[in-house]
Amino acid sequence: MLSVVMPVYNGEKHLQEAVDSVLQQTFSEFELIIIDDGSTDGSAKIIQQLSDSRIRVLRNGSNKGISYTRNRGLEEARGEFLAWMDCDDLISPDRFEKQLAYLKRHPLVGICGSWLTRFDENKSEVSKSPTDHAAIKALLLFKPALWNATAMYRLDRIKKAGLSFDTRLTVAEDYDFYWEACRKFPVANIPESLYFYRDSDSSIMKSFEGAEEKSFAIHKIIYTKSLHELGIAPTEAQLKIHRRIGSTQLFSTYSSYLEAVDWLIYLQKRNEIERVYEPNALSEILGIIFYFISKKSSRVGLPVYINYIKESKRFAPVDLYQRIKLLIRCLIKYRRF
């Protein structure tokens, strides 16, 4: 019924834990496809010693990259459903059981993800994302809204839609994939953390921290598609504003903050014409993003808070507690996100 695909590249440190986390699931009728993407550490030796009959091992021979490896997983999977698993993470023992049950209750949903818990040696934190299709689609205008590691697919929907991972993208390949998927069929997230993401130095995203130009070059491929749908032929400057809004970059001046706010207002107006996004869902997401960029601008001080109160009526507002938090941040000119 289920194929679980685990790409592996130099993951020896936590690989055994990740495999055990899959093999100990309450739902047991699955195949675990481990794809070694040309590892040069001890990963191959660990994989060779695995003895469970549900495990199928594939090797790329040389390092082909994550998009190539994910596409190979899509081709090799034999199950009705497919779930991803990263080689240094952990999952709740009932993850597969709960996601399969959700997909059976919601036959129109083609992809089901969940919330996830980010953890390291010192702390853990639950990362939440929208649960319904309209809000997920709207958030994808700015940033990922369905984490690939948590995703479970109806494989026939993926193949019928002709979906695959763009091999041009060395990061954010999953962001692009779900952007495309949202336009083919409904997707959803279960409002519960079923996945434990290890925030380690070996993660792909970590390798792109501090390399903003490389990351921007990749993300603007996705942003350009989104903006074209809204009837916008973006300039390089507009793409950089859009990237800054969706990233963790801080705003250091009031003018750059206002530029970002004006861009959100413009996107809302374009959607009133093009109707790409359900209006209430976009208003909700724009409200979240507006608060997000106001937090990132708190070092500017009280003018940011005053502008937030003035303009928040345009979008779905956040609650009183969040507004008070923003006020305090702006009063003390907080310089971190």
pLDDT in tens, 291-301: 999 999 999 99
Q: Mean pLDDT over residues 83-110, rounded?
A: 98
Please name which of 275, 209, 220, 271 lies closest in space to residue 245, comparing C-alpha atoms. Answer: 220
pLDDT at 204: 47
Q: pLDDT tens digits for 27-37?
A: 999 999 999 99
pLDDT classification of 102: cutoffs 50, 70, 90: very high
Q: CA-to-CA distance for 193 and 95, rounded, in angstroms?
A: 9
pLDDT at 65: 94
Contact 257, 276 (CB under 8 A): no
pLDDT at 317: 85
Q: CA-to-CA distance for 61 and 92, rounded, in angstroms?
A: 32
pLDDT at 201: 58
pLDDT classification of 209: cutoffs 50, 70, 90: low
> What are the residues facing 111 on neighbouring strands?
153, 187
Q: CA-to-CA distance for 13 and 15, rounded, in angstroms?
A: 6
- Reduced to 3 states, what is the DSSP secondary structure of residue 128? coil
Q: CA-to-CA distance for 333 and 303, rounded, in angstroms?
A: 11
Q: CA-to-CA distance for 221 and 239, rounded, in angstroms?
A: 10
Please name which of 161, 158, 178, 171 lies closest in space to residue 75, comparing C-alpha atoms. Answer: 158
> Could you tell me the pTM of the whole model?
0.93
Q: Mean pLDDT over residues 327-331, rounded?
A: 97
Q: pLDDT tens digits for 176-206?
A: 999 999 999 999 999 999 999 998 755 544 4
Q: Mean pLDDT over residues 110-131, rounded?
A: 95
Q: Write out the H or E segment, with its range, that includes residue 235.
A: none
pLDDT classification of 115: cutoffs 50, 70, 90: very high
Ordered structural domains, the chain, with CATH: 2-207 (3.90.550.10), 210-331 (no CATH)
Q: pLDDT tens digits for 246-291?
A: 999 999 999 999 999 999 999 999 999 999 999 999 999 999 999 9
As a whole-number percent, the residues of the chain with pLDDT over 70 amount to 96
* Six-digit token string for 182: 């949202």
Q: Mean pLDDT over residues 36-58, rounded?
A: 96
pLDDT at 168: 86
Q: CA-to-CA distance for 156 and 161, rounded, in angstroms?
A: 8
pLDDT at 208: 45
